[in-house]
Amino acid sequence: MELLLLRIILVLASLLTISTTNSEGDALLDMKLKLKATGNQLSDWNWRQINPCTWYSVVCDNNNNVVQVTLPSMGFTGVLSPRIGELKHLNVLILSENHLSGTIPDTLASIPSLRDIRLAYNNLSGQIPGRLFHVAHYNFSGNSHLNCGPKFHHPCASHASYQELKHDTGMAEPTHGHRRTGRGQWTDPEPEAENDASGGSLKLKA
């Protein structure tokens, strides 16, 4: 009897895992559609491979929950899917240096586990959901029409992004930095990026 009960529990747990995985897979497939992935991009993100934990640049935890999606510099020209917010266990989302437009969905702010979001150097516009400014590591630099920067209450990159830059370059954190307005010049002081000692410019890691 106990053995039968154990088998039933294992089957139910397996069904629950499959259901969760399929739900997250649905959200990721909508994300792929909205990003306008072309050609062979994300070719393994498809219905034939049911478990999204096997998909390119998707990382899952031991319970098969999607915890990380990293797709920088892929040339995407679409928008951000509101269904990304359905990835309730997501820790890391990196979509820097694409050509994404539109706004940042409010649903991203509803992901309780999010600790690293990087959307730098796209063409995003509008309001950044307020909670995203409290994520430990965020970077929205290089999106000239977002509500961050020296004219707003929040910098476009978190202090953690600065610490990473300092670690990578071995530089000391100066009193004044310079803001990068796009992929070109540094301008007004702001805690987002800074000049090196030789007068050259440094790009904050996206």
Q: Quick check: 66 and 24 in contact, CB under 8 A?
A: yes
Dihedrals phi, psi of 120, to nearest 5 degrees: -65, 150
CA 33 – CA 81 distance, rounded (Å)? 8
Domains annotated for the chain, with CATH where assigned, are 2-141 (3.80.10.10)
User: What pTM was computed for the model?
Assistant: 0.73
Q: What is residue 163's DSSP assignment?
A: H
pLDDT of residue 175: 35
CA 32 – CA 45 distance, rounded (Å)? 8
pLDDT of residue 3: 58
Torsion of CA 182, 122, 135, 37, to 10 degrees: -160
Per-residue confidence in pLDDT tens, the chain, 206 aa: 655 554 544 444 444 444 445 889 999 999 999 999 988 899 999 988 889 999 999 999 999 999 999 999 999 999 999 999 999 999 999 999 999 999 999 999 999 999 999 999 999 999 999 999 999 999 999 999 999 998 898 999 998 765 665 555 454 443 333 333 334 333 333 444 433 333 344 455 66
What is the amino acid identity at position 169?
Answer: T
36, 88, 109 from 13: Cα distances, Å: 35, 19, 29
